[in-house]
Amino acid sequence: METKNRVEINIGNQHYTILSDEPAEKIEALAGQINDRLNEMMQDPRLSLTQALVLVSLDLANNVQKQAELTEKYKSEIADYLNDAANAMSERDKYKRELDKLKGKQA
């Protein structure tokens, strides 16, 4: 059984205790990034803490979705490149066989 790391973080002047499989430093860094974005949002006095947290969450979710779409695009491109490479190798092998046949006829 894997032990979970107990990590103490603060976001928006609220204290949280997180149990995670991730290293404490990683959780603390993520919390710091969220808190920094939250502090930027809170510069607008019209926003409540809840509204600012929702906006930060939407922005982060949007970034995750963009990264997932980019990952899928790259996977597709890599699959295309691998297919092209396989086709090129097949064509190379075909020409190599033809060359071997021609060399055999000359002997």
Reduce the DSSP state of residue 76 to 3 states and report it: helix
> What's the pLDDT score for residue 103?
87
What b/e sequence results for 56-71 when a residue is b if at least 16 CB atoms lie within 10 Å of its CB, and e otherwise?
beeeeeeeeeeeeeee
Q: List, for residues 41-62, the tens digit of each pLDDT value.
A: 999 999 999 999 999 999 999 9
pTM: 0.70
> What's the pLDDT score for residue 71?
98
Reduce the DSSP state of residue 3 to 3 states and report it: coil
